[in-house]
Amino acid sequence: MSDNNDDQEWATVIGRSLAFLALNGSGLREKDLATQGEFLEALGLPRKEAAALLRTTPASLTELYRRARTKKKGKHGKSKAKG
């Protein structure tokens, strides 16, 4: 049973490493954490693991996602009058 557990741990390490390499290769390392986190989650990493790779917390990523959504919605809302 310990061999099976070791294999699972190595698969996890390899998966995280590949996700990090994909993030670096994508050119998103220069972008904000929300963009990077969304990319890692799209690759299948749970938010907790994506946050750990980005050296932040899952709660912080959640808040950054919320702010990014709000910012996107604001662009399509009312425009400010010049004056």
Residue 44 within any structural domain of the chain? yes
Contact partners, residue 49, CB within 8 Å, separation at least 6: 16, 40
Residue 77 within any structural domain of the chain? no
pTM attached to this predicted model: 0.75
Residue 40 within any structural domain of the chain? yes
Q: Which domain holds residue 6?
A: 2-72
Q: What is the pLDDT of residue 74?
A: 76
Residue 81 within any structural domain of the chain? no
Cα separation values, 79 from 6, 21, 50, 74, 76, Å: 57, 40, 35, 9, 8
- Which secondary-structure segment (H or E) carries 77? none
Domain count, the chain: 1
Residue 83 within any structural domain of the chain? no
Residue 78 within any structural domain of the chain? no
What pLDDT tens digit does each residue of the chain (83 aa) get?
Answer: 567 888 989 998 999 999 999 999 999 999 999 999 999 999 999 999 999 999 999 999 999 999 999 988 876 555 555 54
Residue 48 within any structural domain of the chain? yes
Residue 27 within any structural domain of the chain? yes
Q: What is the pLDDT of residue 3?
A: 77
